[in-house]
Structure 1
Amino acid sequence: MFESLGLTDRTITVYRECLQNPRLLNQTGFSELGEKLELPADEVAAEIDHLRNLGLVVPRWNIADEEYPLHPSVAFERLAARRQQEIDDLAANLKNDQVAANQFVADYSDFLVERTARDIEVLEGRERAHQRMQDFQPTKSSWGMVPASKIPSGKPSESPDQPLLERGIDTRYLFPESGLKIREIREVCEHLVEYGAKVRTAASVPMRLIIFDGDTAVMGIDPDDTSVGAVVHHSKAVVRLAQELFLHYWKHADDPFSDGPSNSREISSQEAEFLSLLVQGATDEQVGRKLGVSMRTVRRMAAKLSEQVGASGRFELGVRAAQRGWVK
């Protein structure tokens, strides 16, 4: 009942007996108090010490070596005041600790932001991203993965990457097949190849990605909208992941400017990608967007392949293509 004041039931029982018979508060009275309460004398002495510490048993001011139990009204008021002070002190300490904890969290957050800021640059807007790109001066390599809608065109001699090639930088470009079917873009690529660039094509390219010197990766904030801006990653983990992605596509890509023997497979990589998307249930619109081609080209491709395998519909085309091993 009085636990909040630091009193146990046994302590209250001893205190009550002392109030009713103060003479028990002497060494000879401990034995009588113990017998009455059925407690060992040492436990009675311990309870009396506890009452002294709580201020419920105090020395008489006019009689030496004699004690008496404090009146309950005064005793409980003092105990409550002492406990309230302890609570107030605890609350004040807790508040100070909360302030310190909040500062600790803020300092740690600042550390994370500072660390992240060193690893990531967020370039909002196309113009800011373009300006930042001019700052990169790779000394070893420049690898670029460019979707169909982002392939640069213009006069071949005006390519911003020509200075890199003149310095002997390992420059690689990975484009979708559909891009090189555009005369202006193919002319730019042919010009770059003449200067030593390596160009390969894949059925589709997932995103715009540029890797400088194997330690910086630049990619769009929104892969479908370059106007949003770009993100520059410097962390080893992200750059390594970007390199693995690029090399995976590079390994399976075609070299459209190779002087070697032509590809003898039955279908092109673009057609293989079309069939893969088809069996996944992609719509014509999704296929066209993925391959970077028009709806007309998608339908023409479907018609050509259907005629090639003797299929009368999209489902049958997918089945027969799988039977021929065209779909992995």
Structure 2
Amino acid sequence: MSAEDPYGDCAGPERVEAAARAAYRELGSAGRAPDALPEAVREWLTERRLVDGDRPHTNSPERALHELVADQQRSLGELHQGLGALHDVLRLLPGLRLAGREVVEAEFFADRSRLRERMGDLDALCRDEILGMRSTFPAPEALEESLGEDLAMLARGVGIQLLVSNRAARLPGVARYLSRMREHGARIRLAPAVPLHLNVVDRAVTVLALGPAEDGGEPAEDVVFHSARLASCFARVFEHHWGTGLPHGTDPAEEWTPREREILALLAAGAKDEAIARRLGCSERTLRRLLAALVSRLGAESRFAAGVRAARLGLLDGL
């Protein structure tokens, strides 16, 4: 470390730590403002609560330790509350009633590169199937690297089903990834939106994104749950939403005639049978027959539900 730069070159974790410890000692004696420190040094001290951006001086080790322990207690409390809520929901599922509480092993990841390494382990151990929901995808380089591993799983007989949001399917590099996966046997459907970003591996392990994606990027945090009961619960969520998707490579609007789409748009707008029949130039009896066929084709329980589902599938876009 030179006289001009007392903290020297802070590249590398070990040098950052050494420089941060030296800076902390200097701050304690000279009262140097934290914002005058190199960014890496300031981040090291801030993460350990040894400096606080709102205060012009350092925190004692005792105070820093107190704040760190308090942070961990809050995190553990939130985790306990979340797992408790999942347990309560599971108790309501037919066939999954628990005689007692289940201890669920959970692994948390804030670093996506570490998660990908862990996913590589899980993929290697996968025997039967992977159910996946995708609200986003990684950068094209990471996606291309993942493609080889996913194709290898398909080659050894692992079944892969992916439900992908329309928005995620338009991200760079995703069209090629999905096409290659489909060519090698993966089943892929697109939906206007998916509620979760997850993988269910052999209905025994669930990889779930906890935090929302920031600025359209990757989810902020992930967790791996080791529980067959939880995996079964998430598999049911997947299967429910799988039924709302359309096969990858098809345009929803192209599978419906302009007349059918017009009827669906009128349904969604709440138009009455008489008004719809007059608009189409047909009898109400003919209209009712058409409506029954459309409701059945959409898998809806009512005319209103058919209109809502048509809107979700994008059938009313451009009308």
TM-score (structure 1 length as normaliser): 0.43
TM-score (structure 2 length as normaliser): 0.44
Q: Which has the higher helix share?
A: 1
Q: Point out the structure with max Rg over C-alpha.
A: 1
